[in-house]
Structure 1
Amino acid sequence: MGSKRPLEIKAVLFDLGNTLAGGSDTYEAFKASILAVASKLRELGFRVDAKRLAEVRLRNRAFFTELRKKTLKEVLGEIWMRRDLEDAGLKPDDSLVKEALRAHCEAIVNLRYVYDDVLEALEKLMELGYRMAVVSNVSVHWMAEETLRRLGLMHFFEFLVTSASVGWRKPHPAIFNEALRLLGLTSKEAVFVGDDLWADIYGAKSIGMRTVWIKRKEKVQEPIINPDAEVNSLKELMEAILSFSE
């Protein structure tokens, strides 16, 4: 490979969850969040049964997940956490919602880990002069930011764009266009790397970006759209990007 790179491609944008970092979409993460929130509430003097909180979370998560799919609008963490607390029998003020949400975020961030193929890939891209950023669907911007910081990845990226900060979730064009605006680049000058064929690949392709689908084992999907390249590991990413210039 040497140091050559496609002249047209100047930036590589990454999804976060299940692309760079794992550990958030699991039963363990759900359980950790419920226990952390229940513990925080007890610490603050509120009696809430963890089982009741889990039942409420499951019901509300199903509702808000469907709402997000239909509208592509983000439901901020403050909104769904307030609903959880209210449905669990509390009358939360803004301070209590904030404390509970912080406990949730800390629990999730503590479980996240970086995949073993990530650092080598990011270091290679940086060495070759590519600009990089992260575009993530997440209801709390701080949680994604803190994940990158604690995993030691923040310095690779110029910025982080989230659905919480933009208001729209991938695959909506707005979140991708915001990243391109911050880069000052056109869609033809950037590649998007993600694990979700709908949110990442379809979304990025819909505005003209080239795409690389990373096929993580924990999230197998039936093909619904053809990515420009497929990789089983980010160690194959540079080869995929270089193929775009052929």
Structure 2
Amino acid sequence: MNLPPLDTRKNKSSLFIARIVFFDLGDTLIYFDGDWTKVLQRSTECLWKKLVASGYPLNREQFSRDFSDRMRKYYMDRNKNLVEYTSARVLQDCLMDLGFPEPEPEIIRNALKALYSVSQEFWNLEEDTLPTLHFLQEQDFRLGLISNASDVDDVYALLGKFNLTEYFEHIIISADFGMRKPHREIFLEGLRLFQAEPQDCFMVGDRLDMDILGANQVNMPSIWITRRSIHKGTEFGFDVKPDFEIYALSEIKEIVKSTEK
């Protein structure tokens, strides 16, 4: 494990007193083990079938192409402006632009449930997730989750799949909050919910450009987990430095011990 010298950025405490740990979800606590191209094709097909069953006479090819194009644009836009419009909004706009009246919220929810049920099959729990969360709770740490996601129900379905929900005192999802990491406001929301100061917390995540950058912007100590990070090996191209770097979640135990001395 790499424990770098404590960061001395302006306004950042030189002494960590953290008793709250925020976690990212995907590629931090859970990981995806599938072919995204095939999964997305299956997902869109399930979405189309659900909508047809709900009374929408949609042409399969036209709808699949239109919805997929809209989702790609949405993904590009949100990475630029950090606004999370949600996949529900994308689907609603898609149907209305095809000439249908505004769909009932229940129709949208059920359709997206069918969409995300495919990808949910391929998410797996890291073997050290539960032991690490249990350890932190035993040490009286309070736990929170800050997740970038386009659908709230999808996140809760994944948390429920792995019995993770009970570990987190507060769960912040960009689809509900409206802004994505690394926007500072989503991290400030976490501080508000816990009524905490930045030095009271750690942020653990795999993305330098989201988890670590966002934490750094509010002077929250950050822990970069590299096990599945797409930035491992390219970190020198980022002007973003974590306070700690770990490979596995289990190494958090050593960080806790080192900061309590």
TM-score normalised over the length of structure 2 = 0.82
- 148, 155, 159: which one aligns with 1:137: 148
Cα offset, 1:231, TM superposition: 1.2
Q: Which residue of 2 aligns with 1:191?
A: 202
Aligned to 1:19: 28
Task: Work out which of the residue numbers 112, 116, 132 in structure 2 matches 1:105.
Answer: 116
Q: Structure 1 residues 60-69 or 185-194, which shifts more?
A: 60-69
TM-score, normalised to structure 1, is 0.87
SS in 2 for 1:56: helix
Q: In structure 1, how many angstroms separate the alpha carbons of the residues matched to 2:187 and 2:228?
A: 25
- Residue by residue over 1:16-43, the C-alpha shift from the partner in whole angstroms, topping out at 9 and shown as x without a partner, is 1111122288234313321220221232
Q: Partner residue of 2:50?
A: 40
Q: How many residues are matched?
A: 240
Return the alpha-carbon distance in structure 2 between the equivalents of residues 237 and 140 of structure 1.
29
Distance change >3 Å, CA 114–CA 245, structure 1 → 2: same
Distance 1:218 1:70, change over 3 A: closer
Q: Within 1, Cα distance between the matches of 2:114 and 2:219?
A: 39
Is the deviation greater in 233-242 or in 200-209?
233-242
Task: Identify the residue that residue 3 of structure 1 maps to in structure 2.
Answer: none
Work out which structure has the larger RCO, using CA pairs closer than 8 Å and 6 or more positions apart in sequence: 2
User: Structure 1 regions of 5+ residues with no counterpart?
Assistant: 1-5
Where do residues 90-169 of structure 1 align in structure 2 (5 Å cutoff)?
91=100, 93-95=102-104, 96-169=107-180
Report the alpha carbon displacement of residue 185 of structure 1 after superposing the two structures with TM.
0.9
What is the CA deviation profile of residues 158-191 of structure 1, one whole-angstrom value per residue up to 9, with x for unaligned ones? 1211112211111011111111111111110000
Match of 2:187 among 163, 170, 176: 176
Which amino acid letter does the alignment assign opposite residue 255 of structure 2?
A
Determine what percentage of the aligned residue pairs are the same residue: 28
| Unaligned 5+ runs, structure 2 | 1-14
Partner of residue 78, structure 2? 68
Cα distance in structure 2, aligned partners of 1:23 and 1:90: 36
Given the superposition, is the C-alpha separation of residues 219 and 47 from structure 1 closer, same or farther in structure 2, using an over 3 Å criterion? farther
Which position in structure 1 is the counterpart of 2:213?
Answer: 202
Seen in structure 2, the aligned counterparts of structure 1 residues 218 and 43 have a Cα distance that, compared at 3 Å, is farther
Structure 2 residue aligned with 1:228: 243
Q: Relative to 1, partners in 2 of residues 1:15 and 1:176: Cα closer, same or farther, differing over 3 Å?
A: same
